[in-house]
Structure 1
Amino acid sequence: MGDLNTVRPRFFAHRREDEDSENWQPLIEHLRNTAAMARDFGKDANVADFAYITGLLHDLGKYSDEFQKRLVGSGRRVDHSTAGAKELISLFKDKPQRPFAYLLAYPILGHHAGLPDYGSETDLEGGTLCARLKNVIPDYSAYKNELDVTELSLPLNLPFRPLHLPIIPQKPPKNYFGFSLSFMARMIYSALVDADFQETETYMRGKKPRGEYDKIPELRGKLDQHLRQFEKPTSEINQKRNEILHACIEKAKTEKPGFFSLTVPTGGGKTLASMAFALHHAAEYGLRRVIYVIPFTTIIEQNAGVFKNIFGEEQVLEHHSNFDWEGKNREDADNRTNSVLAKLKLAAENWEIPIVVTTNVQFFESLFANKSSRCRKLHNIAKSVIIFDEAQMLPREYMRPAMAAVWELVTNYGVSALFCTATQPRLERFLPLGTEVKELAPNPQELFDFYKRVDVQNLGTLTDVELLDRLNRHDQVLCIVNTRRHASGLFKGLQGDGNFHLSTLMCPVHRRAKLEEIKKRLSSGKSCRVVSTTVMEAGIDLDFPIGYRALSGLDSINQAAGRVNREMRQPSGYLFVFEPKSEFINKTPSFIKQAAEVARMVLRDHAKAPISIPAIQAFFGHLYNLQDPLAFDFKRIMDCFEDDEGRFKFETASRAFQIIEDPTVTVIIPFNEEAKKLIEELKYTKYPFSTLRKLQPYTVSIYKSEFDKLSSKGVVLTIEDTYHFLNPDNLQAYYDPHCGLLIPENGGGDGLLF
């Protein structure tokens, strides 16, 4: 093997269009660089040695003449991902580490196409691991002139503690060794694909601004500085918030990484308290980032905005469906006119940033994804503090695989998980027996007693006429219902001035303007009647004297109560729960029906204290017991990884793990002159990413069926077959100043999730 400094290499990994072959990247350089980078990325996940091997072998297929011809423009597709997997399995075929070689075959084979299913030994064609290993591929044996793999070794001991879960109550727990093994394979895959992307990126485009962020101790200092303004509270409620905050900070330093809960009534200041715990805990135990997971995109901007004001915009990444970070216009990351935007887009690829604010959907679907674009971030979740805000909203139908993944992260990958809510579900039932979830709040029941500010009364069935009669008699009142159609129908029946409607059919800038107007009217004592969907139930800092809530789960009722007498300005507020009888409700989905039935029973049995720890525990206990235990994994995700010998179904699991089953489409609303100007800019810009980010406050997400109905009216225009916007000429006809985007009849039912 010659010295690369004196002998011109014959095999190359990549070429830049503007350079001749003298300056192309030598293949051996790419393999060694990727291996070293993958090893570094895999350290926090304890998979460094495995990741190194995948990095060294992933592109062996590029040693074929056919691939080298492709670099000079042959145009023929060449399978270059299979060679490394074949070579690794051949190398260890007669050794005890043979099963590990097959495990590493998944990330090597999938570093472009995605982690495959194992398939069957009889597979001859297709994308399964078994079929791919039988593929006839171009001769790549020339790699032996530059790389000696015979000295490679695989560890005999696995760096994880295997999972054991109780599947059926009162029965012995089941061994989920296969799940733990598959999770390790995902971490190896993540380290490999992130290293491959970044190494290639460095050669092709030059060094990018990655990793230039404040360290955790610096962020802790910024938060402590911000919190000093609350050091001498005068009101009782702020004194109690301060007690909760300091209890979290104290336990952050004394409790080792693990599972935690923060059970604090709505209005108790849990957003800042949980972040204070996370940063002090991370600084104390050498953890690298904080990941804040929120159930709703409608409230993510508010929390992210709080964090950006404290830490700086460049330290906080918002990553959810409303931000098109992973769109096709990757060249926009090269737009140097805004270095913050460029860094944030790069950080979204792999979460290499100290604070991430994301959604349940983005977080859990990434953990079970099989594509490289979604999996790059996984190795950076290791050694993090993960805060699950509104933990009662974790995806119930996927609870078993979701909690199994969280257990893996905490037990084997150095994570601390904090479940934060006013209505704490009993998550221990989804974890291995004996798992301890440590409470951070000082005496949660005393907190509930202190924060008791609302009397909850069950009115039984109310027609819309009866409900509107009540609402119109109040000067200031909030009414929350379960569907968009019901909310808009009730709104039209309100009388007098100061009436408002809120739903996600209103673009965020429109909704924020309405919320500000509502807040001013409430504080000045003016009439203010609001009818809303569940968009009002979390993260909205408003204070009504009276509230009405359509019967739903006790967790939703509790959230609605959090908007009533929030600042305890009066001895007690009132929340009236009612069962709606309405022409605006066509069908109530089964999950709402079931939760409502359980809530009805709990409201009866705990009539004196429906907003209390015992009532909440009774609600979730009954709700979970009503369901077949297997319903918490109704897509049978765990079955995809039950094989202890590594015959996994990565691709099948990825397709099945879809928290939002009904696809949605984002429509840009030309709400004002600024939005119209940005839409015009989007039509012609070479760098659409920054324009799209500015347009985010002017977007509405609707079901695909609703979008099709709207499109059939000819009122939706499209840019580059990708970005959809409401025709400004149709704005008045299809965007109501009170209710937002108007969906034609039969365009999507009741709008149940909005």
Structure 2
Amino acid sequence: MVYIAHLRSGNHDIQTVREHLLEVKQLAESFGEKLGVKHLAGLAGLLHDMGKYTDAFKNYLVEAVNNPDNPPKKGSVDHSTAGGKFLYEEFHHSGLYPAILAEVVGNAILSHHSYLQDFINPDLESNYLKRVRDKELDEFSMVKERFYKDVMNQESFKAYVGLALDELETFLNRDSPCKMEVKLMLLTKYIFSALIDADRTNTRLFEEGNNVDVSTENTPFEDYYAKLLKQLQLYDQSPLAHHPINQLRVKMSEQCDKFAEKPSGIYTLSIPTGGGKTLASLRYALKHANLHNKKHIIYVVPYTTIIEQNAEIIRGIIKDDENLLEHHSNVTLEEERYDSAIDTGTIEQKLRLAKDNWDQPIIMTTMVQFLNVFYAKGSRNIRRLHNLSEAVIIFDEVQKVPVNCVSLFNDALNFLKFYGNSSMLLCTATQPALDYVEKRLAINEHPEIIENLDEVIDAFKRVEVIDEATNQTIKNDQLVQRIKQQMESVSSLLVILNTKAVVKDLFSKLEEKELNASIFHLSTSMCASHRKEMLKEITRLLQEKKRVICVSTQLIEAGVDVSFDCVIRSLAGLDSIAQAAGRCNRHGEAELRQVYVIDHGSEELSKLKEISYGKQLSKRILLDLKRDCTAYGGHLLSTQAMNKYFKEFYDHFESQLDYFVPKAKQNMTDLLSASNSSYHQAYVQRHKKQLGLCIRNSYGTAAKYFKVIDDVATPVIVPYGEGRDIIAELNGQFSIQQLSKLLRKAQQYTVNVFAHEKEELSKQGGLVSYLDGKVLVLKESAYNETYGVDVKNESKLEFQMF
């Protein structure tokens, strides 16, 4: 009898269970091999759909095909428990390593249509044991018999598990600063990632009628490196090549090239703002990837504006758009579970199988997305994790790691360094003290690429920071007059404030004045394409020496290559002030320009605790300098001032570095820890017995509560430029491949709206849902040509395309 894993939509061709298991095993092995756990990952692939060897599942499929308008209830036949239960019964009582193998691989199998199970949950029960120990499965003995007969005989299977056990022992005994519970947690997530991607990819290829995924091995870094060197040679021939600033940039770029020969590790690149960090880091990454056989180069940035600008620079050099992925956010909403067998041909299946696994050679994404890969719920996020191994990962403006995620961030990077064979480059002009905190980052010895850093910083000094913050507070009406006064002596001015509300209000007030200047507004309420057009126009006007005023949130501070005559910065953390200074006299056009630091009295920072405390710290340092002009080496942005700032900053937030979860009354690091003692102690007290498991993590609970930012944001596609065409296409019919391309393109036209904004938009009728409610879209009237998202749904779209 033939047992079926999948039926192709349309012609109802079948993929047998045997074919699916062996093909997923092979693909999972290739993902696991990068971590030295080929057979552990392969074992998950081999057993994940073992439960489809039942007559009940076969009847379930037949009924779904015969009654498409009234199919059986999803999940009414459990096929994902069998593989995990099989491992538990066969190996859990056979010693320490077999027990750990059963838990690590078994949890991945149980969870491949949802998310990893809790070994112990807040209700002091084990979701894992309920499935593998307590749940009775019909036909289970026949399932094992059919598996041994059809897929792999007992002797071969036992030998395969033996190889997996050898890998597990080697992995767990490898020397590293990662604690055992962190090793087990991240190993489990890695196996889960390999399984999810292998399963989704194989199912997609079957649905599309393909045998091979041709894009997975494409790593043309040698070619890209040659193109970059050719471009750098052209820069050397430009009229400005001999300017002292450009000579320094060349020197630092060459240092990055030489440093790329060093072994994999965690290093720092502290190029001052405006020092050519994007191309220098790319030079390091391309050479290092080529020399050390890395599969991906991944840029991780704090703001999507950096993605937009860096992507444009890199795309212009490599001339290969297909191999560069800009991943701003997830366009579609995450579903808790789906059934790849019964959902065949549906929009749910297409969305699940759409290629979204970060397998392109160059990926540009945000810190939010990077942390979500490791810690957020949903199979879409974790599917990408295995592609972070054998990679060069460049963290641009690494000082922006959210305080409550510092320990989790450090755990992830240490894992990638010691187990994932990845190299990490921490890029910023203001290095945070990530190796100062309790759960420290294992930065390599002598990590800094730039030689004689203090001298380089002095050579790059192009601005003086003027303290107006310790004298008085200022509000927008006064700030308008201050801007008007400043524009009498300069032709371009950038104002950076801490909240979108005050930025929008100031812009409105400036528009009412006769200032004889082009006035621009920038914020994250605008989609990437909209901001890109705005920045392009701002850059053009600045180059033509036209009069320009730009009012922005902090998104313009990092990685945006613009140069204003003057900057006014609302008081914030020292790193933010340094980044703001980098938008002034960026290329040394004048000998010295001014950056004014003000204290804005109308900013509501009660929910922005990091900005609020950073502001207090900076004010203290400003007061120290006011009392003693030689303090901190005599200037606000010195390395001495920055070191003091970050150490006091992390000391203040010490209790929050481990991500406390109020509803669980636990730190996230404890929920993810195998020594999760408080739940286990309570379990023993209640049940009068031990849990009986090696691992006591609460994976599902931890993921449920993990949010990089406090307010949950929802992606919406906006009707700006090509966004209108994308929205129109969402009504059509398309293959999985076409949908993958469409969703990738849609990221440029997506804005994340917070819960209160989404509620207001819904109330005002500004939101429409597409693709069975999985994609949200703004109406034309809910997107404004100047501000972006208009929650009042009152905008008239008359876009000025620059």
Q: TM-score, normalised by structure 1?
A: 0.86
TM-superposed CA distance for 1:51, in Å, is: 1.5
Equivalent residues in 2 for 1:362-511, closer than 5 Å: 362-369=369-376, 371-430=378-437, 431-432=439-440, 435-436=443-444, 438-460=447-469, 461-464=472-475, 465-475=477-487, 476-494=492-510, 495=513, 496-498=515-517, 499-511=519-531
SS at match of 2:35: coil
Query: Aligned residue for 2:109?
Result: 108
Query: Aligned residue for 2:691?
Result: none
Aligned partners of 2:9, 2:355: CA distance in 1, in Å? 27
Letter in 1 for 2:257: I
Q: Would you say 1:204 and 2:204 are equivalent positions?
A: no
Aligned partners of 1:419, 1:54: CA distance in 2, in Å? 34
Aligned partners of 1:694, 1:30: CA distance in 2, in Å? 31
TM-superposed CA distance for 1:44, in Å, is: 0.7
Change (3 A) 1:102 1:346: closer
Match of 1:589 among 596, 608, 630: 608
Question: What do the CA deviations read for 1:278-304 (whole angstroms, capped 9, x no partner)?
Answer: 111111122221111111123212212
Q: Would you say 1:262 and 2:281 are equivalent positions?
A: no
Aligned partners of 2:674, 2:352: CA distance in 1, in Å? 37
Q: Would you say 1:219 and 2:268 are equivalent positions?
A: no
Question: What do the CA deviations read for 1:704-746 (whole angstroms, capped 9, x no partner)?
Answer: 2123223323344444545555544x47xx72x544444449x
Aligned partners of 1:301, 1:119: CA distance in 2, in Å? 42
Letter in 1 for 2:552: S
Query: Aligned residue for 1:139?
Result: 139
Aligned partners of 1:434, 1:670: CA distance in 2, in Å? 45
Query: Aligned residue for 2:87?
Result: 88
Q: Is residue 706–residue 743 contact of structure 1 (8 Å, CA) maintained in 2?
A: yes
Query: Aligned residue for 1:659?
Result: 708
Equivalent residues in 2 for 1:598-677, closer than 5 Å: 598-606=617-625, 608-635=634-661, 636-643=667-674, 645-671=694-720, 676=724
Q: Is residue 54–residue 108 contact of structure 1 (8 Å, CA) maintained in 2?
A: yes
Match of 2:763 among 706, 709, 712: 712
TM-superposed CA distance for 1:89, in Å, is: 2.1
Aligned partners of 2:354, 2:297: CA distance in 1, in Å? 14
RMSD: 3.3
Aligned partners of 2:289, 2:333: CA distance in 1, in Å? 27
Query: Aligned residue for 1:315?
Result: 323
Q: Is residue 328–residue 747 contact of structure 2 (8 Å, CA) maintained in 1?
A: no
Match of 1:532 among 552, 571, 590: 552
Aligned partners of 2:102, 2:24: CA distance in 1, in Å? 19
SS at match of 2:436: helix
Q: Is residue 385–residue 415 contact of structure 1 (8 Å, CA) maintained in 2?
A: yes
TM-superposed CA distance for 1:187, in Å, is: 1.6
Matched residue pairs, number? 709
Aligned partners of 2:120, 2:442: CA distance in 1, in Å? 36
Q: Is residue 321–residue 362 contact of structure 1 (8 Å, CA) maintained in 2?
A: yes
Change (3 A) 1:739 1:198: closer
Change (3 A) 1:302 1:379: same
Letter in 1 for 2:107: Y
SS at match of 2:28: helix
Q: Would you say 1:580 and 2:600 are equivalent positions?
A: yes
Aligned partners of 2:252, 2:44: CA distance in 1, in Å? 47
Letter in 1 for 2:308: E
Aligned partners of 1:94, 1:714: CA distance in 2, in Å? 58
Aligned partners of 1:643, 1:668: CA distance in 2, in Å? 40
TM-superposed CA distance for 1:685, in Å, is: 5.5
Match of 2:57 among 54, 58, 67: 67
Match of 1:41 among 31, 37, 40: 31
SS at match of 1:428: coil
Q: Is residue 326–residue 349 contact of structure 1 (8 Å, CA) maintained in 2?
A: no
SS at match of 1:429: coil
Which region of structure 1 is more displaced relative to structure 2, 477-486 or 719-728? 719-728
Question: What do the CA deviations read for 1:612-647 (whole angstroms, capped 9, x no partner)?
Answer: 211111110111112234544323121123226212
SS at match of 1:138: coil
Aligned partners of 1:10, 1:447: CA distance in 2, in Å? 70
Letter in 1 for 2:473: L
Aligned partners of 2:45, 2:527: CA distance in 1, in Å? 45
SS at match of 2:218: coil
Q: Is residue 58–residue 84 contact of structure 1 (8 Å, CA) maintained in 2?
A: yes
Question: What do the CA deviations read for 1:535-566 (whole angstroms, capped 9, x no partner)?
Answer: 22122222112111111000110111011111
Aligned partners of 1:467, 1:163: CA distance in 2, in Å? 57
Question: What do the CA deviations read for 1:185-211 (whole angstroms, capped 9, x no partner)?
Answer: 122222222222233333332225432
Query: Aligned residue for 1:241?
Result: 249
Q: Is residue 668–residue 726 contact of structure 1 (8 Å, CA) maintained in 2?
A: yes
Q: Is residue 119–residue 130 contact of structure 1 (8 Å, CA) maintained in 2?
A: no
Letter in 1 for 2:474: T
Letter in 2 for 1:107: A
Query: Aligned residue for 1:548?
Result: 568
Change (3 A) 1:82 1:417: same
Q: Is residue 304–residue 318 contact of structure 1 (8 Å, CA) maintained in 2?
A: yes
Q: Is residue 411–residue 441 contact of structure 2 (8 Å, CA) maintained in 1?
A: no
Change (3 A) 1:647 1:500: same
Q: Stretches of 4+ moved more than 6 A in 1? A: 120-124, 162-165, 325-328, 344-347
Match of 2:581 among 561, 584, 605: 561
TM-superposed CA distance for 1:388, in Å, is: 0.5
Letter in 2 for 1:600: K
Query: Aligned residue for 2:680?
Result: none
Q: Is residue 389–residue 420 contact of structure 1 (8 Å, CA) maintained in 2?
A: yes
Match of 2:40 among 23, 47, 50: 50
Aligned partners of 1:434, 1:581: CA distance in 2, in Å? 41
Q: Is residue 30–residue 38 contact of structure 2 (8 Å, CA) maintained in 1?
A: yes
Change (3 A) 1:193 1:722: closer
Aligned partners of 1:557, 1:445: CA distance in 2, in Å? 19
Aligned partners of 2:644, 2:256: CA distance in 1, in Å? 26
TM-superposed CA distance for 1:417, in Å, is: 0.8
Q: Would you say 1:185 and 2:188 are equivalent positions?
A: yes
SS at match of 1:569: coil
* Structure 1, unpaired ranges of 5+: 1-8, 166-174, 336-343, 746-754
TM-superposed CA distance for 1:609, in Å, is: 1.3
Aligned partners of 1:670, 1:433: CA distance in 2, in Å? 43
Question: Percent of aligned positions with the same letter in both sequences?
Answer: 32
Q: Is residue 211–residue 352 contact of structure 1 (8 Å, CA) maintained in 2?
A: yes
TM-superposed CA distance for 1:114, in Å, is: 2.0
Aligned partners of 1:586, 1:744: CA distance in 2, in Å? 23
TM-superposed CA distance for 1:218, in Å, is: 2.6
Query: Aligned residue for 1:229?
Result: 234
Q: Is residue 289–residue 295 contact of structure 2 (8 Å, CA) maintained in 1?
A: yes
Q: Would you say 1:361 and 2:371 are equivalent positions?
A: no
